[in-house]
Structure 1
Amino acid sequence: MQILAISTPRTVQEAELLQRHHQLRARVFSDRLGWEVLVVDGGEADVFDQHRPTYILAVSESGRVVGCARLLPATGPTMVLDVFPALLPDGQLKAHPAMIESSRFCVDTSLAEGKGEGSIHEATFIMFAGIIEWSMANGYTEIVTVTDLRFERILARVGWPLRRIGEPKKIGVTMAVAGILSVNSEVFLKLRPGGYRSQIKSCLGRVA
């Protein structure tokens, strides 16, 4: 399993991986979680996919997309501000140029590869490390995101605690909360699993 970062696809293979990532989003957010999201031709997408985000993908040895996240500069259109202002103090986000938003994070936990004895799939740790590595390589120091309380507990358990910027509120069927995650080499090295492979040109050097 390895990490890729794709914005505008440069090859047919990258375009295919992005399509598989939209299909993974549909399986997780629509089929499994029952969110009210738009699914067309088996793939989930929304207006924020039109703002040239960077997608962090975890890809298995067979070419299957097993994890994904969408990253957008927090100073531009973001889900946290434009879709979930109720989760922010006074509906405002104190964004700055070194803040990135992460959204549409998901992992295919049914994959046997990377499923160990622990309750957290290895692909989750690979995705965490990939998001942090890309963020550091591009000058970001903070990640803002909206998540549910279950995933907030997972972040705390692995040692990457979410700093809440508002109180949790029920959004649809989910108790959601907005918060900020720190980006630095210490947390990257803590979360990076053994054998982590990435095609991101990191400020830590190429990770083999």
Structure 2
Amino acid sequence: MPPSRTLLLLLLNFLICVSTIQWEEKLVKYPSFICAEQKFAPWNKPTSRLRLHVNKSYQNKFELISKKLEGIGVFPKDIEETFIKGTGKGGQKVNKTNNCVMIRYASGEGEKIIIKCHKHRCLQKNRIYARELLYDKITSVRDNLEDAITHEIEKEKRRVLKPTDREKRESINYKKRRSEVKSNRQKNFRYEDDIG
């Protein structure tokens, strides 16, 4: 093969790899917002031809709750999200589609939280709602831990401040002595009625 043809093939292969990487980044960032027929499109298509079907209000809510989760230290790499078939109300669509969201959150400290959400018929709404539930659960657990810690600290302070029996007796004796000293300072008036 001539060198120019080899260079051309290498360049073409490089461009296909670059477009594939860009497309994969979009797929990782918004996995559920991609239309089903586009999800399985050939990898060698340029990204400009791919159409992302995104509902802007869901996307904004999803980004908002993701930022809230990042604010408390829950990053997307810590969340494992799976989609399973739903059950219950909603007719045949609910039974046929994978619109039930299951989130597994495992933090570095060993705590694991599993949330299954099938409140809505729409997958995007369920994804958002599941993340809101995760946020509420984590914040409530942290608040309960903080309350328990402050309660223990206050309990320890009360225990330290509570006087022992010996300290109580010494305090009472001191107060009695002080009252005697003060009563001795008063002048004794004798009234005619007291003289018998």
**TM-score tier after normalising by the smaller chain length:** under 0.3
Larger Rg: 2
TM-score (norm 1): 0.20
Which of the two has greater helix per residue? Answer: 2
TM-score (norm 2): 0.21
Which of the two has greater strand per residue? Answer: 1
